[in-house]
Amino acid sequence: MNEPARAVWSRPAIGIDIGGTKVAGGLVDVDGRVLHRARRETPHRSQSPQVVEDTIAEVIEELRGHRQAIAVGIGAAGFVDATQSSVLFAPHLSWRHEPLRDAMRRRVGLPVVVENDANASLWAEARFGAGQGEPIIVGVNLGTGIGGGVLVDGRLFRGSFGVAGEFGHLQVVPGGHRCECGNRGCWEQYASGNALVREARELAAARSPVAHGLLDRVDGDPARITGPLVTAAAKDGDPAAGELFDDVGRWLGVGLANLAAAFDPALFVIGGGVSEAGELLLAPAREAFRRQLTGRGFRPEARIVRAELGNDAGLIGAADLARDHSRLFRRRRRPRRTRPRG
């Protein structure tokens, strides 16, 4: 006898969040709660896509050892095509037109959905976090780079080819810093975790008097400065770290003002590792946003808030999207009932 549909849909789904430094996975229930976790380091980009797939499969199999899962959602840091099957381009990984969905479906024997990681994070915040009840939301994730997403009336806006929301590669400084995408002056070169660390290390390497606090934390070696270290220093009141967050926050606000001109959302949800700084980042961002906003003083201003689900947002959203996709797919395949003749 087949398992009742209600029991099937109550199973948890597996969510995978692939970033530039980690592959994080979670077994997620229907209410967005993470029941079990698994994590691996992301293989270096110089290695083949197969190595990354091996790592994802390891995480999935570890999680399946805890509970039976209904589907797998993979949030990937890169351009995902409109069919949610292939990663077209991942600046921080080695994927180029990688058919990730089919490859992983063959390996794990479960329905698989591939989604941009920022889209997955935004979906989670809209369903279970800071964006609940808002019809139009723009999400911005500040991590290794900058990811983004747009949600309109409960649906993710993916664009014609599936790659909408790549806000990190908006050009904000013509001829500026070289970006890993190949262009110059991209927004993520000024308002991301990489930008924060680059500026901190340059300040420390110059032996600026204001950088002594940061240098003390790394025994005088600028190469050991990390994003979490700068965040911790800023929270402790270190003046140099505070200035660095002022700079990143201002660039964040400039970019958000541009996005407000394009999408006119009621809410911006800011996530990713850099958002751990909280108001140290968001206060200067709001100030710059107000100064740069088109029609300022004559239009309502969008709220700018920190994401509520933290580092779990990507895997929670990926899992929930996989559950929804699996339910829709099974409904489409369900044969029509016909009345008996006679």
CA distance 200 to 7: 52
Query: What is the model's pLDDT at position 285?
Result: 98
- pLDDT of 131 strictly over 70: yes
CA distance 257 to 82: 27
The b-or-e profile of 201-210 (16+ CB within 10 A means b, else e) is bebbeeeeee
What pLDDT digit, counting tens, does each position of 144-168 carry?
A: 889 999 999 999 999 999 999 999 9
Average pLDDT over residues 127-141: 96
Burial class (CB in 10 A: 0-12, 13-18, 19+), 175: exposed
- pLDDT of 84 strictly over 50: yes
Query: What is the model's pLDDT at position 270?
Result: 98
| Distances 112 to 74, 84, 319 between C-alpha atoms, Å | 7, 9, 10
Supply the mean pLDDT for the chain: 91
Query: What is the model's pLDDT at position 275?
Result: 96
Question: Any bridge partners for residue 155, and if so which?
Answer: 152
- pLDDT of 332 strictly over 90: no
Average pLDDT over residues 63-75: 95
What pLDDT digit, counting tens, does each position of 284-310 carry?
A: 999 999 999 999 999 999 999 999 999
